[in-house]
Amino acid sequence: MSQAIILYCRGGFEKECAAEIEKFATLQQCFGYARTKDGRAFVEFHPYNSEDAEKLYLSLELNDFVFARHWFLAHSYLELEESDRLADIIPAAAQIGPCQSMRLEFADSNDGKQMSSFCKKFERPLKKALNGQNLIIEDANAPNLQLFFISGTRLWIGLDLPGKGNPNHNGILRLRQPSKAPSRSTLKLDEAFQTMLSEQESERYVQSGMRAVDLGACPGGWTYQLVRRSMMVEAVDNGPMQEELMMSGQVKHWRADGFKYQPMHGNNQWLVCDMVEKPVRVTYLALNWFEQRWCRYAIFNLKLPMKKRFFEVEKDLDILREGLSNISDDFILRARHLYHDREEVTVFVAINNYRKK
């Protein structure tokens, strides 16, 4: 029987991740408690009724979370004999049943990263032992066997159901800095496009020839990603833009305050914004663009305060949710603390249909 839910997060954001899973658990009447420590980069949620772990896991999607990078349904906590780790893992895996593959992972923390070489070495003998017991099968609908190592002798073992978690190892999409990009901030927007939109949404919302506005664009890190996706961009910033980016012929630079700027074209599809401002101010800025119908889609960052970060995110998302519901009956609102984010979260909004005025 499932004992817990394990959630990965960035180190230092354990309290926010814990508050989030406890909020969802309360809404689902799956009462329990979250356990973590600062810097561990993961959270354990323990329901008082063990059956509630599966109920809660199945009722939510990863997109419902802001601070969780990946999550899985934990069946057992194991303490292994260093001389024969397989002796305890194989019986636990047999209780779970056949899986299509296995995931050997660890926390994105100083302690967790020490497990990287161990997991690489241990993967081969573990796979051989699982195959010997017919616990690895060719079935795309079967779950993944999840092993989350806290140390070389302590781990959680459980299930990662298809489509429920983050397919990237350790829940992290690692991207290389493009050599021609003007700043490292470009990776934030690249990750957002790749992880916050489904494949079908990307095909619909991100198309060659679309018009976009980048508020606070200097020196062009986010504009670079729009140009890569063959969009025409209004880059708005009083500072200078990278010359090479301007030579693309896809960018028009407007020296203006992003909070006062009004778009030159009324048929913009995209708004992006990565300005260092109070999150509530950026929230109302983005909402105004939708209320004015200056765009249909947006990705923007909210810089978080030092304290009450979870409260701030909840407040800003509530403002957006209420405001968007006044202008559309069909919209998407998602927020995620991305790997390339730091003290900030990234928000994605899509208006599928505006309500008639």
Amino acid (1-letter code) at residue 322: E
Gap between the Cα atoms of 62 and 336, Å rounded:
10
- The structure tokens 């200097």 sit at 218
How many other C-beta atoms lie within 10 A of the C-beta of residue 203? 10
Which of 55, 188, 303, 356 is catalytic? The answer is: 303
Length of the chain measured in residues: 357
Return the structure tokens found at 5: 């839910």
Amino acid (1-letter code) at residue 194: Q
Nearest to 9 by CA among 154, 149, 108: 108
Whether 303 is a known active-site residue: answer yes
Whether residue 218 is annotated as binding a ligand: the answer is: yes
**CA distance readout (Å), 159 to 4, 6, 136, 147, 271:** 11, 10, 13, 8, 38
Whether residue 216 is annotated as binding a ligand: the answer is: no
Nearest to 159 by CA among 220, 97, 84: 97
Whether residue 64 is annotated as binding a ligand: the answer is: no
Whether residue 52 is annotated as binding a ligand: the answer is: no
**CA distance readout (Å), 19 to 46, 70, 256, 289:** 13, 16, 39, 31
Gap between the Cα atoms of 141 and 162, Å rounded:
7
Q: Give the angle subtended at the CA of 201 by the CAs of 197 and 204, to the nearest 5°.
A: 140
CB 245 within 8 A of CB 223: yes
**How much of the chain is helix, strand and coil, in % rounded to 5?**
35, 25, 40
Gap between the Cα atoms of 244 and 182, Å rounded:
9
Whether residue 39 is annotated as binding a ligand: the answer is: no
Whether residue 274 is annotated as binding a ligand: the answer is: yes
For residue 189, give the H/E element and its range: helix 186-195
For residue 205, give the H/E element and its range: helix 199-205
Whether residue 257 is annotated as binding a ligand: the answer is: yes
Binding residues, by number, are 185, 218-221, 237, 257, 274
Q: Write out the catalytic residue numbers.
A: 303
Annotated binding site for S-adenosyl-L-methionine: 185, 218-221, 237, 257, 274
